[in-house]
């Protein structure tokens, strides 16, 4: 893979995270989520996978996103439930572990 492309992906990803963090910390959570959920990351990823591996690889990636959607929803619901009760660090640790377990199980079943 081209090093220039990796640097570009890193800069774009960092920019998105920075903008989302800024708006989220300003109490503008809907705007922050809107920006975070823009398909910019998946758009860039799908394009680069397509260019590197073709149509089959890009379609496979898109299908895998849908397969792992339930694990991600479990993660988000868990954060909503546990964050006020256990705090940020414990909530994230528990829910990332739950996501990883659910994703691993899902991938093994498919």
pLDDT digits (tens, 9 = 90+) for 42-81: 888 888 899 889 999 999 999 999 999 999 999 999 999 9
CA 13 to CA 9: how far, in whole Å?
Answer: 6
User: Whole-prediction pTM value?
Assistant: 0.71
Mean pLDDT of the chain: 91
> What are the boundaries of each domain within the chain?
1-63, 68-110
Q: Assign 4 a pLDDT band (cuts: 50, 70, 90).
A: confident
């Amino acid at each position: 893979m081209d090093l220039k492309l990796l640097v570009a992906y890193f800069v774009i990803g960092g920019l998105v995270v920075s903008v989302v963090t800024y708006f989220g910390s300003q109490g503008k959570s809907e705007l922050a989520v809107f920006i975070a959920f823009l398909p910019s990351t998946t758009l860039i990823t799908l394009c680069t996978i397509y260019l590197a591996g073709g149509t089959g690889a890009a379609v496979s990636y898109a299908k895998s996103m849908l397969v792992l959607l339930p694990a991600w929803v479990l993660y988000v619901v868990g954060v909503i439930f546990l964050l006020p009760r256990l705090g940020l660090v414990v909530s994230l640790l528990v829910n990332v572990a739950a996501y990883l377990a659910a994703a691993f199980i899902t991938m093994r079943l498919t």
